[in-house]
Amino acid sequence: MSEESEKKCSDRKAKTAEVRLQFGVVDTVSRKTKHPVNNCLRGWALIKLSDDRFLDLPINILPPSHFSLQEQTVIMKIYEEDTTFPADVLSQPLSTVISMEEIEDVLKRSGLSDHKDRESMRVVKHGRTSGFTAGSLNEIRSDCYNGGFETIELVVVNIPGLNNFSFRGDSGSCVVDLDGRIIGLLHHGNDEKSHSLAEMTYVTPMAWILADIKDTLQTEDVVIPVDEEV
């Protein structure tokens, strides 16, 4: 075997070994219940990352978006004519969480100037099943049945002319606005068997999830990693 072949073989083995390293172990899991104050779903889990695989906290970053030019046009048509799809913004690490107060401010069309007198806030997500999709964050929180109890959640509705915002297997996806700020986590997706449910995806605000984690662990030391090189 030549030196070049040996090197390629060694590189493949090294990559395989890295993939096989344990990601981590489950440390804390919330009970699947309704939050007593916010009435949203409690359904998060904390993973203790493997020290053998991670020397530092990994950065939250989305893969390159695969929206076509036509899809980008459909997503952005509610904004000014010279506004282009922010692919460069969405390629940056995600570290900023938008507060529920600001979300409500935007949805009431009484806050940020770029949303006045326009449709709901555009959001995107990258899911395990459906990859990148875009939707509109609805102005009104909606009842969500969770197999024994109901919660009140943020709702993302489909954009006409685009694919459904979510499909089975997308639960846990991070939903962000077009400024790259984290809205929340997707927990109930579209149901293809029901036309009405196929229009809606339920999202729990990330700000509430972080607050719930802090309350559960009795600590303020809960952060989202920031890429210091950016």
Token output for 225:
């990693």
Q: Which domain holds residue 128?
A: 69-212
pLDDT in tens, 33-89: 888 888 888 889 898 888 888 888 788 888 888 899 999 988 888 776 667 888 888
Q: Is 27 within a domain? A: no
Domain count across the chain: 1
What whole-number distance in Å separates Cα of residue 76 and Cα of residue 59?
A: 27
CATH of the domain at 91: 2.40.10.10
Q: pLDDT value at position 6?
A: 61
pLDDT in tens, 129-138: 889 999 988 8
Q: Is 34 within a domain? A: no
Residue with tokens 């915002």: 165
Q: Is 163 within a domain? A: yes
Q: Is 14 within a domain? A: no
Residues 182 and 176 sit within 8 Å (Cβ to Cβ): yes
